[in-house]
Amino acid sequence: MPQIVFLPHAKLCPDGAVVEAEAGKTLCDVMLENDIHIEHACEKSCACTTCHVLVREGFNSLSEASETEEDLLDKAWGLEAVSRLSCQAVVADEDLVVEIPKYTINHASEGGH
């Protein structure tokens, strides 16, 4: 089973985490199953960017991004070449290092501002 290292995130994972993941699961599901409560405002339907992550190692082992995902990522805060929507990124057999960005574009979580 691949190992996923989640880098520390002030709110969601202050100490970071190292988990084993079953190949074929999305990064979002792996996080949620391991008590890393990443936002997923669209209920994992590839309709928002609240589950945006940066895959620092192992990026090329993930499933290929769809055109819809790539279009949405253009709207994500802190977009980088290694950005993925965690609800769409399917884990393969390679270890990963994942960073959760400091911010998301989600008006509901920011009090409607």
pLDDT score of 104: 74
Q: How many CB atoms lie within 10 A of CB 36?
A: 20
Q: Structural domain boundaries of the chain?
A: 3-99
3-class SS at 68?
A: helix
Q: Averaged over 1-7, what is the pLDDT?
A: 97
Confidence of residue 106 (pLDDT cuts 50, 70, 90): low
For residue 111, pLDDT beyond 50: no
Q: Averaged over 12-31, what is the pLDDT?
A: 97
Q: Are 93 and 61 in contact (CB under 8 A)?
A: yes
Q: Does domain 3-99 have CATH number 3.30.70.100?
A: no
For residue 76, pLDDT beyond 60: yes
Confidence of residue 9 (pLDDT cuts 50, 70, 90): very high
Confidence of residue 108 (pLDDT cuts 50, 70, 90): very low
Q: Are 100 and 27 in contact (CB under 8 A)?
A: no
Tens-place pLDDT, residues 39-61: 999 999 999 999 999 999 999 99
Confidence of residue 103 (pLDDT cuts 50, 70, 90): confident
For residue 102, pLDDT beyond 80: yes
Quick one: three-class SS letters along 74-112? Answer: CCCCCCCCCEEECCCCECCCCCEEEECCCCCCCCCCCCC
